Every structure is written in structure tokens, then in C-alpha cells.
Amino acid sequence: MMISLHYEVDGQDFALAGEASSNVKKVLKQLGVKPDIIRRVAIAMYEGEMNMVIHANGGIADVEITPSKIVIIMQDTGPGIEDIELAMKEGYSTAPDAIREMGFGAGMGLPNIKKYTDQLQIISEVGKGTRLEMTIFVK
Amino acid sequence: MAQYFHSVTLDKERCKGCTNCIKRCPTEAIRVRAGKAKIINERCIDCGECIRVCPYHAKKAITDPFDVIFSFKYKVALPAPSLYGQFKNIYDINVILTGLKRLGFDDVFEVAKAAEVVTLATKHLIAGNKVQKPAISSACPVIIRLIEVKYPNLIDNVVPIKSPMEVAARMAKRIISKNTGLPQKEIGVFFITPCAAKMTSTKAPMGSDCSFVDGVISMSEVYYKMIHDINKITHPENLSTAGMKGISWAKSGGESFALGDERAIAVDGIHNVIKVLEEMEDDKISDIDYVELQACTGGCVGGPLTVENNFIAKNRIMRIARMAPNIDLVTRFDDLCNWDISWTNPITYKPILNLDNDMVKAMQKMKEMENIYNSLPGLDCGSCGAPSCRALAEDIVRGFATETDCIFKLREQVRMLAREMMELEGRMPPPFRKDE
Ligand SMILES: Nc1ncnc2c1ncn2[C@@H]1O[C@H](COP(=O)(O)OP(=O)(O)OP(=O)(O)O)[C@@H](O)[C@H]1O
Ligand code: SF4
Ligand SMILES: [Mg+2]
């Protein structure tokens, strides 16, 4: 048994960012998933969504829910990440000033995704795009 | 008391079965069945939105009849501070309190006073990092109930302190018992309420086993009883002891002002509250210590049982508060910290959203729900009695509704049936058929 959800994350509309993660949150509550798991999924997914909006002009998100785990795949065709290890460091950010003024760009997104997921795989190629695969175990 | 006591109830006679309330209910707790609205108990949070939006006044708040006070030897009124904002041209709290006594109360104890104690205790919890930040005010029972059913991840953020109403009830009983020598059970304390939710919270207390409040009386009822004579009070008794901070609790922003923490925000109106809770749930609200959340627009002055327009009442409260003494709370904490004001029972998650307790079954139902939803017209017209097509799809998989409750689906089926009938009718018995 698996529930698959698919979202297009609009890179132009800041106000809509976060819609996919709040929708997933609602679905997980309806499925009776434990509150702490929902919280981890929501935060990780929100950060991934924001990264696609801020750094990659949008992308797509796929969520696969099974009774044992939740897998979130986020893909974009943005600029890619040159040095993934560096990008994973707390505080590292290439966000422009305008974005920082809006309260983003603390360089905490990827570290938080790492913290809140059980497994994280990042594949990225400069000029081609980025793919994040996050897994959170339900039990 | 029953787990699902609700003060908000339906007056069947008046209900026309329209869609106003089902559409506005923040927890989708109302359906129309057999031409009448039906409140789903598990989901209702007693916010009173339906009382406000019903054009036929078919939703009401059950409160105690005024005469309950006479079953006690010594009767004490506990006025919510929002009462002070109800009377035109009256800026002297003593006039209002004297007016209350003339209705038959032996004494008054201001809930505003208890609110000061709650502020003080909250300050200590925040300063001592004893509650998860941002801390959420526990004064409005609607918010607590909402968190219990929909935001389990925020339970630890709720300030585990009894509401000013409960603190007032405890203080009043003890102080008056000490002063008069009467046993506490002979002293009846009656809350003058701006809302249905406070009534519910005395029947199904949050954070404690029992309520100390002996009765809850509607503010509008008290208002109409007082209004005739209040202008004749020329020599009011000197009864008020509340300070500016406690009085400010009547309106949105008052708690934050009393707390004196610049990292506090005040959010009013249930739909705004939901937006903020969603963000808090995702950790999106940082650098804030305290979140004051009130279900009613404007705060308690906007409660469904108030009389005055909440904007006017708010202004009046501000003017009254300005004239009250600005008591410095901290120096007096020692006298007050002995009241048992902390929660004794933690609040717990009471999920209402899950489709099934078994995750696999819930997943099956969700798939089914998606299919049903995709076959519905998506107009959210409400004719089926559910607030939206999505809600109907959910009701169907939960077994509370059927697909033909949708009038468009019904029409489709009728049309199919009609076609079949035409076909049948066209079939002649063999001897009369043209060829074959
Ligand atoms: N999808 C992406 N495409 C291209 N670059 C990315 C992407 N996601 C992250 N990055 C790069 O990795 C850096 C670190 O990301 P991270 O999410 O940790 O911080 P941030 O987005 O800059 O700030 P914050 O998430 O705290 O608002 C980013 O500044 C950006 O250079
Ligand atoms: S805001 Fe005040 S009046 Fe309104 S429901 Fe909450 S406690 Fe009652
Ligand atoms: Mg980021």
C-alpha cells in the first residue's frame, strides 16, 4: 500500500512556497501518522521547497508514503550545487542580500534537512540541477 | 462530566438548514442533515463562529440561568474584564461592580485581578525557560481545544497555568472563606462570561480535574439586568482592586502588554489563529517568546455573548485601564504564588483528522477519498450538507454520507435511470415488434 503525492513548486511565487509541505502535513494527519514524525517531514520538506524557490527557480516534489517510511524526492533544473559538503555546513549560504533581508539565507536549511531525516541523498550537477531524496521511517 | 459537553448548541426550531455555518466553521464540525444543522461533538471547539454567522440566530450558547446564584448562601460575581467595556459613558469600574452587587451578589471578585497573577506566573515560566518557546497563552479555551485536536506538536508550548477565571474562582473562595468564616462550599462563585467556550471549560476542565466555578452567566444577560439602574448609581462602593495590566486582558494585546515582553505577539480571530499555529508547527516563528492567541476578533471584548461593538469596547477598556493603578506585580509575587494555579493534568492529543486508527486502512480510505473527490464537481456548493466537495468525499469514506448526497451526482443517476426506463419502455413484447 502506497500513497503518492506530486507537487509542482512554483519558482516565481514566494507566497505559495510552503504549500506542498502544509498539504503533506494534512495528509499525514489524516493517515494518523505520529505527531513527531509529521513535524520532521513538514520541516524537512519546507526547507527543500524553499531551496528550490530561492536557489533553483522552482521544481517538483514527489512524496511516497508507505506504512513503514515516507520518501520525499525534490528535483529541480536550477544551477546545481558546486560543493555539496560545503553547502551542508551550518551557516553556509549563497543567498543574495535581498533574500537575507526577508529572513532567509541563514544557511540552516540543508543542515536541518539532515537533522530531521533518517536518510538523505543529494545529487547535483552544476548547470543541470539538484535532486534530494529524503527518507523518514514511520516506525 | 461528559467528555463532549458543548455550550454551543442548536435551536432546531429556528434552523433553516442553510449553508452559512457549515462554510464558516474552522474545524468543519457542522453538517446539514434532514434540513437542520448538526454539530459533530468531537470536532466542535466552541469558538462561537456559528453563533455569529447564523442569520436566523439558531445557534446559541448554553449558560446557567441567573437564578442559580440564589442556591448559595454567599454569592460572588466574577466579572470577566470584558464586562467593563460594555456600558456607554461608564468609565468607573466601581459603578459596574456596585451594579453587579445590586443584582443580588454579596460580593465581587475581579477576574482582572487573577489575570495579574497569571501574568506573573507566566513571566516566571518564560524567564526560567520552563516552557517551550514561543510559549502559547492558555487563557482562551478555544485555543487549547484547537491545539488538542489539531496541533499536537504544540502541546508543550502551551503555558501550563489555569485560566484567569479558574484562578479567580480559587482566590475568591479562599479569601472570602477566610474573611467571613463561611465554609467554601457555601460560597458560590459565578463567572460573567463573554463566550460559550468558558462555559464548556467549566464542565470539561482543561489542565485540571475540576472547576471551582459554580456557575457561568451570560454577559449579555447580566448587561440587560444592569442597564436599567446603572445610571442611578451616584455613590458607588469602593470595590475595584484590579490594576491596569489585569484590565487590559479584556482585549487582544492586553496579555502581551501585561507581560511587558517585547518579543510577544497578539493574534485575534480564529482564522488568523489557525494561520499562526500552522506556521508555529513548522518552526517558522522564531525570535518570539510569547504568543497570545484569542479566538474572537478583538479578543474577549469580541466574545459572542458581549453586547457592545468590539472596537468601541476595546477603546473603552483602554481608557479605563489608563485610569487604573499601574501595580508593579513582581514585588507581590510572594503573596500570590501560593494559589494553586498550575495545571495538574497535562493536555493530550485528541486526533479528529485521522481516517482510521490503522494506517493501512487509513491509506485505503484516502485513496478511495481521492477517487470520490475527483468524481465530484468541485463547486463546494454545500447542497450536500458538507462544507466542501472534499469534506463530502471524506464523509463518504467515513460512512457518514453517500455519493448521491451530491445533487449533481444524483442528477446524473436520475438521468441514467430515465434513459434506462426509456429503453425499457421502447421494448415491445415479441408479437408486436416490427421486425426480427
Ligand atoms: N536546490 C538548490 N539549487 C541550487 N543551490 C542550492 C539548492 N539548495 C541549496 N543550495 C545551495 O546550498 C546553500 C545552502 O543551503 P541551505 O538551505 O542550507 O541554506 P540557505 O538556503 O542559503 O539558507 P536558509 O535555508 O537558512 O534560508 C544555498 O545557499 C545554495 O547555495
Ligand atoms: S477570545 Fe475570550 S471571549 Fe473569545 S472564546 Fe476566547 S476566552 Fe472566550
Ligand atoms: Mg535553504
How many angstroms separate the alpha carbon of residue A54 from the centre of ligand 3?
A: 8
What is the C-alpha separation between B98 and B236, in angstroms, rounded? 6
How many angstroms separate the alpha carbon of residue A87 from the centre of ligand 3?
A: 10
What is the C-alpha separation between B292 and B304, in angstroms, rounded? 19
pLDDT at residue B331 above 60?
Answer: no
The C-alpha angle B151, B156, B162, rounded to 5 degrees, equals: 100
pLDDT at residue B81 above 60?
Answer: yes
What is the C-alpha separation between A68 and B359, in angstroms, rounded? 10
Residues B47 and B177 placed together within one structural domain of the fold: no
pLDDT at residue B173 above 90?
Answer: yes
What is the C-alpha separation between B103 and B84, in angstroms, rounded? 16
- What do you get for the CA distance between the two ends of chain B, in Å? 76
pLDDT at residue B82 above 50?
Answer: yes
Top mutation candidate among A93, A122, A124 for ligand 1, by most atoms within 8 Å of CB: A93
DSSP-based three-state secondary structure for B143: helix
In a domain, B436, yes or no: no
What is the C-alpha separation between B128 and B122, in angstroms, rounded? 10
ipTM of the complex: 0.87
User: Is the CB of B354 less than 8 angstroms away from the CB of A36?
Assistant: no
What pLDDT score does B335 carry? Answer: 54
- B281 touches A at CB < 8 Å: yes
Tens of pLDDT, residues B254-301: 999 999 989 999 999 999 999 999 999 888 888 899 999 999 999 999
Q: Of A81-85, A99-103, B79-83, B431-435, which gets the smallest average pLDDT? A: B431-435
Are A126 and A80 spatial neighbours (Cβ–Cβ below 8 Å)?
A: yes
State the smallest CA–CA distance between residue A117 and chain B in angstroms: 15
What pLDDT score does B208 carry? Answer: 86
What pLDDT score does B339 carry? Answer: 64
Residues B264 and B321 placed together within one structural domain of the fold: yes
> Residues with beta carbon inside 6 Å of ligand 2?
B 140, 142, 194-195, 197-198, 294-296, 299-300, 303
Residues B112 and B19 placed together within one structural domain of the fold: no
Tens of pLDDT, residues B185-224: 999 999 999 999 999 999 988 888 899 999 999 999 999 9
Residues B47 and B99 placed together within one structural domain of the fold: no
User: Is the CB of B363 less than 8 angstroms away from the CB of A31?
Assistant: yes
In a domain, B344, yes or no: no
In a domain, B20, yes or no: yes
Going from the C-alpha of B181 to that of each of A33, A102, B73, B170, the distances in angstroms are 55, 62, 13, 16
Residues B301 and B172 placed together within one structural domain of the fold: yes
How many angstroms separate the alpha carbon of residue B150 from the centre of ligand 3?
A: 27
Residues B315 and B410 placed together within one structural domain of the fold: no
- B355 touches A at CB < 8 Å: yes
Residues B189 and B79 placed together within one structural domain of the fold: yes
Closest CB to B282 among A33, A43, A138? A43
Report the nearest atom of ligand 1 relative to the CA of A59.
1
> Residues with beta carbon inside 6 Å of ligand 1?
A 47, 51-52, 54-56, 76, 78-81, 87, 92-95, 104-111, 130
What pLDDT score does B25 carry? Answer: 96
What is the C-alpha separation between A48 and A70, in angstroms, rounded? 15
Chain B residues within 8 A of A65 when measuring between CB atoms: 363
pLDDT at residue A87 above 60?
Answer: yes
DSSP-based three-state secondary structure for B44: coil
Residues B137 and B246 placed together within one structural domain of the fold: yes
Select from B20, B38, B61 the last residue of a domain.
B61
User: Is the CB of A67 less than 8 angstroms away from the CB of B359?
Assistant: yes
Q: What is the mean pLDDT of residues B326-347?
A: 68
Chain B residues within 8 A of A47 when measuring between CB atoms: none
How many angstroms separate the alpha carbon of residue A112 from the centre of ligand 3?
A: 9
For strand A3-10 and strand A58-65, is the pairing parallel, antiparallel, or unpaired? antiparallel
For residue A110, what is its C-alpha cell? 540543508
Residues B218 and B192 placed together within one structural domain of the fold: yes
Higher pLDDT, A87 or A97: A87
Q: What is the CATH number for B420?
A: 1.10.15.40
What pLDDT score does A102 carry? Answer: 80
What pLDDT score does B286 carry? Answer: 82
How many angstroms separate the alpha carbon of residue B286 from the centre of ligand 3?
A: 16
pLDDT at residue B78 above 80?
Answer: yes
Whether the upstream peptide bond of residue B134 has omega within 30° of 0, thus cis, is yes
Residue A6: CA atoms inside 13 Å, Cβ hemisphere, count? 0
Residues B116 and B49 placed together within one structural domain of the fold: no
Using a 10 angstrom Cβ sphere, with 0-12 exposed, 13-18 middle and 19 or more buried, the burial of residue A131 is middle
For an interface test with A, the pick among B282, B388, B390 (most A C-beta atoms closer than 10 Å) comes out as B282
Q: How many domains does one find in chain A?
A: 1
What pLDDT score does B338 carry? Answer: 59
Q: How many domains does one find in chain B?
A: 3
Q: Which of residues 293-312 of B touch A (CB under 8 A)?
A: none
What is the C-alpha separation between A39 and B50, in angstroms, rounded? 31
The C-alpha cell 467556550 sits at: B197
With CA atoms as reference, the chain A residue closest to B286 would be A103
For residue A76, what is its C-alpha cell? 529541480
User: Is the CB of A26 less than 8 angstroms away from the CB of B283?
Assistant: no
pLDDT at residue B328 above 70?
Answer: no
Q: What is the CATH number for B43?
A: 3.30.70.20
- B278 touches A at CB < 8 Å: yes
What is the C-alpha separation between B256 and B274, in angstroms, rounded? 19
Residues B264 and B133 placed together within one structural domain of the fold: yes
What pLDDT score does B3 carry? Answer: 57
Enclosing domain of residue B204: 66-339
In a domain, B3, yes or no: no
Q: What is the CATH number for A17?
A: 3.30.565.10
In a domain, B1, yes or no: no
What is the C-alpha separation between B266 and B134, in angstroms, rounded? 12
Q: What is the mean pLDDT of residues B40-58?
A: 94
In a domain, B97, yes or no: yes
DSSP-based three-state secondary structure for B432: helix
In a domain, B345, yes or no: no
pLDDT at residue B334 above 70?
Answer: no
Are B252 and B264 spatial neighbours (Cβ–Cβ below 8 Å)?
A: no
- B361 touches A at CB < 8 Å: no
**Which residues have CB under 8 Å from B416's CB, separation 6+?**
none
User: Is the CB of B367 less than 8 angstroms away from the CB of A138?
Assistant: no
Enclosing domain of residue A15: 3-137
In a domain, B117, yes or no: yes
Report the nearest atom of ligand 1 relative to the CA of A112.
18
Q: At A107, is the pLDDT very low, low, confident or very high (cuts 50, 70, 90)? A: very high
